[in-house]
Structure 1
Amino acid sequence: MSSLLTKTMKAIRLHAPGGPRQLVFEDVAVPSVKSNEVLVQNEVIGVNFIDTYHRTGLYKLELPATLGREAAGKVVAVGDALKSQLKVGDRVTYFSPASYAQFTAVPESSVFCLPPTVDYESAAAYTLQGLTAHYLVRSTFKLESKHTCLIQAGAGGLGQALIQMAKIIGAKVITTVSTPEKEALVRSLGADHVINYKDLPEFSSKVRELTGGKGVDVVYDGVGASTWFQSLKSLRTLGCLCLVGNASGPVPAIDPLLLSANGSLFITRPTLVDYLREPGEMQQRCTEIFQWIADGKLTLSSKTVLPLDSASQAHEILESRQSAGKILLQPPALTN
């Protein structure tokens, strides 16, 4: 593989923040591998809202930068410190920067070896969003069968993961969608109640009706600006609002008195990296996630697959909020 390390590869690069057309498909050097890293030849790359936040400058990157935070593929080179743990040919998935490329150098701590029954598309779809959904239901608010949760944008990639994980746990699920087609999709995943927020923008009244006036125990809200207040109004006394994204824009500053006035509520804005800080934590979470996939309990029900050079189109689709499920990118085949 030493000759590979001197070659160039195709990648999606950002030279200045802005709209989707700021994403440039260009040649860059294949990254070198440090002693604690592996080089992964990416087969399928996941697209996530955090990628759009990096592109617009909402979350700052040192530019120029290769976008992306997750992919699945095979190991093609192994750093000296890892040769007893990982080998060339291992099928892996990872959560690490610079995945919008044919190759990515990934720290060993961010790599998970895939079970043989899990394909690359499922792996790329359920790494970042699967890990996010997992820490939300297992750690941020430890969901149990006695609980009722509200999941915003249930037809999106994160929403689908959350619905399925909540049903694996045995909780009752209320979710919001924007179209009848998406309603059918989330019902097929096990959602107990579905609200079309386009028809009912002030959906908290319906949530309270569905919960006998009590409200839900927890809301998982990745939409942000357009939903957070109705999410808060949907909570029971001592309920928890988990703000996990900004699909419609950032949430404004929140007066703490709003929390006491609505039932001594809790609010948190978690981020994935803080739930992966302990050594082996990423692998522990992935073990349960990919066992659920292997058992058929967690499925990739809908997807959009585009070539890597169509990354700008992928961002347009994601930001339009018209897509259902996961958006994936496929790198070009290697040429000799």
Structure 2
Amino acid sequence: MSKAVRIHAHGGPEVLTYEDADPGKPGPGQVLVAHKAIGLNFIDVYYRTGLYPPPNGLPLTPGGEAAGVVKEIGEGVGGLKVGDRVAYTTPLGAYAEERVIAADRLVTVPDGVTDEQAAASMLKGLTAEYLLRRTFAVKPGDTILFHAAAGGVGLIAGQWAKHLGATVIGTAGSADKVALAKSHGYDHVIDYRETDFVAAVKDITGGKLCDVVYDSVGKDTFPGSLDCLKPRGMFVSFGQSSGPIPPFAMSILSQKGSLYATRPTLFTYIAKRQELEEAAAALFSVIADGTVEIVVNQRHRLADAARAHADLEARKTTGTTVLIP
């Protein structure tokens, strides 16, 4: 019997239970995938705690990215065959040894990308792709601020943004994390526990400030992030690891320089099949040619998902974490 991690009630890491789970047979337009590696992300915590309501209620098998091989193909599926290496992000259900999934959500993994790299980069790497190439298209000469620079998305974004020609400023919460971020594309990294990041950004830029701030931290970095932006700069809020940003008056954007603000989500950017394929091709290209190194610093057995969640919430992790079935 195949195994999976399920949530039957919201709560702490202890609610993640490792149990038998029959993946079923693929129906029309579906395939059965045997996972080789599964990505761990902070959004998994949001679903576990109930901050994000599960789309189909409980019980829930969490997890939004994985890589594996096609084990069985349903009726009407073209372009895939048994044994193909594939990866995906969305829908939920990745914390499993095997799962049935719609074929049109899968992308093939090229030879130059490993299973762990693919599993660790589908959600985080595609997030970096849409942030840097589509939400605010970073170009040579831009100055950007990226919070949580030593996190999974941050390490990818630092390398990619530098490749795009930007001056890249990051924040991190320890000396080790500062050093890690500096080794992954960041020109400047601010230890926010030791230094006021707004003052540091003003000093680094000579008062010119940033064209864009990418913020997945939320409550703890707001409204400071707005104060790091030059007039008509863009505030991109794409997560809330410290808690949600409190409601604010839109007039604050005009007061601080006619700023733009957006709250994007990856799933809007890859909803169309063509967009998913193009984004994945761009991501796998920069991984395969060495422009972006995917840093897998923690590996846990799927059965130890609770431990992995505890470490993630305690900010004991750097780079990416994968679960191995």
Report the residue type matching 2:320 in the other structure. K
Question: What is the correspondence of 1:33-48 to structure 2 with a 5 Å cutoff?
Answer: 33-48=26-41
Question: What is the correspondence of 1:46-85 to structure 2 with a 5 Å cutoff?
Answer: 46-61=39-54, 62-82=57-77, 84-85=78-79
Residue 161 of structure 1: how far off its partner (Å): 1.1
2:20 is matched with 27
- Helix, strand or coil for the counterpart of 1:135? helix
1:102 is matched with 97
Quote the Cα distance in structure 1 between the aligned partners of 2:285 and 2:73.
26
Quote the Cα distance in structure 1 between the aligned partners of 2:318 and 2:59.
31
- Helix, strand or coil for the counterpart of 1:42? strand
Report the residue type matching 1:54 in the other structure. Y
Is 1:13 equivalent to 2:22 in the alignment? no
Identity among equivalent positions (%) equals: 43
Report the residue type matching 2:269 in the other structure. Y
2:276 is matched with 282
Quote the Cα distance in structure 2 between the aligned partners of 1:239 and 1:102.
44
**Contact 1:109–1:282 (8 Å) recurs in 2:** no
Quote the Cα distance in structure 1 between the aligned partners of 2:309 and 2:71.
29
**Contact 2:66–2:94 (8 Å) recurs in 1:** yes
Question: What is the correspondence of 1:172-251 to structure 2 with a 5 Å cutoff?
Answer: 172-200=167-195, 202-251=196-245
Quote the Cα distance in structure 1 between the aligned partners of 2:276 and 2:206.
38
1:122 is matched with 117
Residue 302 of structure 1: how far off its partner (Å): 4.3
Report the residue type matching 1:294 in the other structure. A
Is 1:133 equivalent to 2:128 in the alignment? yes
**Contact 1:31–1:103 (8 Å) recurs in 2:** no
- Helix, strand or coil for the counterpart of 1:303? strand
- Which digits, 9 at most, give the CA deviation of each residue in 1:29-72, with x for residues without a partner? 12331211111100000001111010010110110011110100
1:254 counterpart (245, 248, 252): 248
1:325 is matched with 319
Quote the Cα distance in structure 2 between the aligned partners of 1:114 and 1:301.
18
Quote the Cα distance in structure 2 between the aligned partners of 1:303 and 1:31.
33
Quote the Cα distance in structure 2 between the aligned partners of 1:230 and 1:294.
36
Report the residue type matching 2:202 in the other structure. R
**Contact 1:223–1:246 (8 Å) recurs in 2:** yes
**Contact 2:93–2:99 (8 Å) recurs in 1:** yes
Which ranges in structure 1 are unaligned for 5 or more consecutive residues?
Answer: 1-7, 332-336
Quote the Cα distance in structure 1 between the aligned partners of 2:127 and 2:32.
24
For the structure 1 residues 302 and 72, does the alpha-carbon distance in structure 2 shift closer, same or farther, using more than 3 Å as the test? closer
Is 1:92 equivalent to 2:86 in the alignment? yes
Count how many residue pairs are aligned between Structure 1 and Structure 2: 322
1:163 is matched with 158
TM-score normalised per structure 1: 0.94
- Helix, strand or coil for the counterpart of 1:270? coil
Over the residues paired in the alignment, what is the CA RMSD in angstroms?
1.0
Over 6 Å off, 4+ runs: none
Deviates more, 1:84-93 or 1:300-309: 300-309
Quote the Cα distance in structure 1 between the aligned partners of 2:22 and 2:104.
23
- Which digits, 9 at most, give the CA deviation of each residue in 1:284-328, with x for residues without a partner? 101011011110111123420000011111111111122110011
